[in-house]
């Protein structure tokens, strides 16, 4: 069966077509600038190609464009749309309604509509992607895979805030966690590569991309994670602050006269690494280059980023009652040996010992020393494959 995985953002549509016979990727790409002038599509099948259009397009038109390309004579990889057996959608926020992936029907859509305000930046475009698929591929089953679902096993004591309980009871203000598909995938991969049963392992996974979060996984289940009600909580990220004293928000509004939108913009788009280096860059590659050239501000930003992560690793080792495996993943985690070294430095008391030479890699590797009690790994994440697998599993169950 061929499965199309879609990840619809506000102005983009990422796609990958899998052949589930061997889990190979037949084609993948991204449509960008949806709703704006000069939309473009980067498309990789046999080779990488870039297409552009003159007029703005909707999500539905973007999807139609992808499907036309997948079936075109020049660049196509399938001869007809009938070959697509199912579509898997990445959905950021499932609220409390979804503890796992589901077949999308009217009831699911209704619940997603209800949960829209929990993730105002992410869920509306995800839903737009679902509606577009319904019109363009009306007879193809769709599955929703939620970023929050893996964390639905968090115990109450981990997901409740110290707030009036009515805020939870009436409005569902609680910690949800995100990047669940990635944390789940790399934890499974770690166990598989070590030849161990995930049920016997205490794992900490650090997903460090533009957004970043850490997860404590015991017996294969998420028991805590650093993102909360929204993807703003937790680690210092590319452009997001992560944990701050919430009174700073009140202070910014009262003393600086900032509006809700301005505060939102500062915390989500102007903070993190970007804020610490005065808006010069949020890309860890730049920070590394500048550090190597003696840039003290870049070094300080790296230190703040790593220190916060180190604190979370310590606290999650405490929450897990020990640690067997530490995994680094996503753009930064997979590709930054220096960052992994700084984070792990001084954690020998927890049994974490990096081998500097083994750590000098990008991508998949065991990077701990032979005598390290904790196995430290760098694992390439593959959220799309995880979505394709879940979609395949659920759709096969239909037959
Ligand atoms: P997203 O969270 O958008 O999915 P990724 O997981 O792809 O992002 O991570 C993107 C980030 O990874 C970039 O902004 C950059 O900071 C970092 N990154 C990518 N390649 C490297 C590299 N070779 N060295 C260090 N950092 C890298």
Q: Is 330 in the pocket of ligand 1 (CB under 6 A)?
A: yes
Only one residue has tokens 């970007």, namely 274
Is 183 part of a structural domain of the chain?
A: no
What does the alpha-carbon distance between residue 74 and residue 81 come to, in Å, rounded to a whole number?
A: 16
- Ligand 1 pocket member 101 (CB < 6 A): no
CATH (domain of 264): 3.30.420.40
Same structural domain, 57 and 141 = yes
Residue 392 included in any domain: no
Is residue 22 annotated as a catalytic residue, yes or no? no
Same domain, 257 and 117: no
* 398 pLDDT higher than 90: no
Question: Domain end: 115, 146, 177, which one?
Answer: 146
Which burial class, exposed, middle or buried, applies to 189 when counting CB atoms under 10 A from its CB (0-12, 13-18, 19+)? buried
The answer to the question of residue 173 being in a domain is no
Taking the alpha carbons of 269, 274, 278, 281 in that order, is the dihedral positive or negative?
Answer: negative
The pLDDT-based confidence of 116 (bands split at 50, 70, 90) is confident
pLDDT at 302: 98
pLDDT value of position 205: 99
Is 215 part of a structural domain of the chain?
Answer: yes
Residue 282 lies in a domain: yes
Could you tell me if 208 and 325 lie in one domain?
yes
On whether both 351 and 204 belong to a single domain, the answer is yes
Mapping DSSP to helix (H, G, I), strand (E, B) and coil, where does residue 43 land? strand
pLDDT band at 236 (very low <50, low <70, confident <90, very high): very high
- Alpha-carbon span 90 to 243, nearest angstrom: 26
The pLDDT value recorded for residue 149 is 97
> Facing residues of 288 across strands?
none
**166 CA to middle of ligand 1, Å?**
39
Are residues 134 and 258 located together in one domain of the fold? Answer: no
d(CA 286, CA 306): 16
For the stretch 64-110, pLDDT in tens is 999 999 999 999 999 999 999 999 999 999 999 999 999 999 999 99
176 is a domain residue: no
At 241-257, the pLDDT tens digits run 999 999 999 999 999 99
167 to 159, 164, 174, 381: CA distances (angstroms): 13, 6, 8, 35
Measure the CA–CA gap between 366 and 228, rounded to whole angstroms: 30
Are residues 248 and 354 both part of a single domain? yes
Atom 23 in ligand 1: which residue has the minimum CA distance?
335
| Active-site annotation holder among 97, 147, 224, 390 | 147
What is the pLDDT, as a whole number, of residue 49?
Answer: 96
Angstrom distance (rounded) from CA 272 to CA 218: 29
Task: Give the residue with greater pLDDT, 22 vs 120.
Answer: 22
Q: Determine whether the shortest distance from the Cβ of 267 to ligand 1 is under 6 A.
A: no
Tokens of 312: 């979370």
Cα distance between residue 136 and residue 119, in whole Å: 25
> If you average pLDDT over every residue of the chain, what do you get?
96
Q: Label residues 81-95 b or e (16+ Cβ within 10 Å = b).
A: bebbbbbbbbbbbbb
The pLDDT confidence band at residue 120, using thresholds 50, 70 and 90, is confident
Tell me the CA–centroid distance for residue 209 and ligand 1, in Å: 5
Report the pLDDT value the prediction gives residue 119, as an integer from 0 to 100.
Answer: 79
Taking residues 193-219, what's their average pLDDT? 98
Residue 91 lies in a domain: yes
* DSSP assigned state of 322: S
Name the percent of the chain lying above pLDDT 90. 95
- Burial of 69 per CB tally in 10 Å (0-12, 13-18, 19+): buried
DSSP percent split of the chain into helix, strand, coil, nearest 5: 40, 20, 40
Give the model confidence (pLDDT) of 305-342 as tens digits: 999 999 999 999 999 999 999 999 999 999 999 999 99
User: Can you state the angle between helices 123-136 and 59-70, rounded to 10 degrees?
Assistant: 50
**Distance spanning both ends of the chain, measured CA to CA:** 12
Whether 336 is in the pocket of ligand 1, judged by its Cβ within 6 Å, is: yes
Q: Tell me if 378 CB under 6 Å of ligand 1.
A: no
pLDDT on residue 261: 94
Query: Nearest to residue 377, comparing CAs of 210, 188, 102?
Result: 188
User: 183-205: per-residue pLDDT in tens?
Assistant: 999 999 999 999 999 999 999 99
3-state secondary structure (DSSP) of residue 52: strand
CA distance 219 to 235: 24
Confidence (pTM) = 0.95
Residue 154 lies in a domain: no
Ligand 1 pocket, mutate which of 183, 209, 276, 380 (most atoms under 8 A from CB): 209
- pLDDT above 70 covers a percentage of the chain that reads 100
Q: Each residue of 128-137: pLDDT tens digit? A: 999 999 999 9
Total of domains in the chain: 2
CA distances to 67, 222, 269, 301 from 183, in Å:
30, 9, 24, 25
List phi, psi (to 5°) of 44: -125, 115
- CA 101–ligand 1 middle distance (angstroms): 27
26 and 123: one domain?
Answer: yes
Residue numbers of the domain that contains 26: 2-146
pLDDT score at 399: 62
Does residue 128 sit in the same domain as residue 213?
A: no
What is the number of the ligand 1 atom nearest to the C-alpha of 212? 2
Is the pLDDT score of 118 beyond 90? no
Instruction: Answer yes or no: is the C-beta of 332 below 6 A from any ligand 1 atom.
Output: yes
Work out the number of other CB atoms within 10 angstroms of the CB of residue 72.
12
């Amino acid at each position: 069966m061929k499965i199309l995985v879609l990840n619809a953002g506000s102005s983009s549509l990422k796609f990958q077509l899998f052949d589930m016979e061997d889990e190979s990727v037949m084609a993948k790409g991204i449509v960008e600038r949806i709703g704006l002038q000069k939309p473009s599509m980067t498309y990789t099948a046999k080779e990488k190609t870039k297409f552009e259009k003159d007029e703005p397009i909707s999500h539905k038109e973007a999807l139609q464009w992808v499907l036309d390309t997948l079936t075109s004579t020049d660049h196509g990889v399938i001869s007809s749309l009938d070959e697509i057996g199912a579509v898997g959608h990445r959905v950021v926020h499932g609220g409390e309604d979804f503890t796992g992936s589901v077949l999308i029907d009217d009831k699911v859509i209704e619940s997603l509509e209800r949960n829209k305000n929990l993730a105002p930046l992410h869920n509306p475009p995800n839903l737009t992607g679902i509606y577009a698929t319904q019109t363009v591929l009306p007879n193809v089953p769709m599955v929703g895979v939620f970023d929050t679902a893996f964390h639905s096993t968090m115990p109450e004591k981990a997901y409740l805030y110290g707030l009036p309980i009515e805020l939870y009871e009436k409005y569902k203000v609680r910690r949800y966690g995100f990047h669940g598909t990635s944390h789940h995938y790399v934890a499974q991969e770690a166990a598989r590569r070590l030849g161990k049963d995930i049920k016997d392992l205490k794992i900490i996974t650090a997903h460090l991309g533009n957004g970043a979060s850490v997860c404590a996984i015991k017996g294969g289940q998420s028991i805590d994670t650093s993102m909360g009600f929204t993807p703003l909580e937790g680690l210092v990220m590319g452009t997001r602050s992560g944990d701050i004293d919430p009174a700073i928000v009140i202070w910014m509004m009262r003393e600086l006269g900032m509006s809700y939108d301005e505060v939102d913009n500062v915390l989500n788009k102007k903070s993190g690494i970007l804020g610490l280096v005065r808006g010069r860059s949020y890309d860890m590659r730049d920070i590394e280059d500048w550090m190597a050239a003696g840039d003290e501000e870049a070094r300080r930003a790296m230190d703040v980023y790593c220190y916060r992560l180190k604190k979370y690793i310590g606290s999650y080792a405490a929450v897990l009652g020990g640690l067997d495996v530490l995994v680094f993943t996503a753009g930064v985690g997979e590709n930054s040996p220096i960052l992994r070294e700084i984070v792990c430095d001084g954690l020998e008391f927890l049994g974490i010992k990096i081998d500097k030479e083994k750590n000098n890699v990008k991508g998949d590797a065991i990077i701990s020393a032979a005598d390290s009690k904790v196995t430290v790994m760098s694992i390439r994440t593959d959220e799309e494959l995880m979505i394709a697998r879940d979609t395949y599993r659920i759709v096969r169950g239909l037959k």
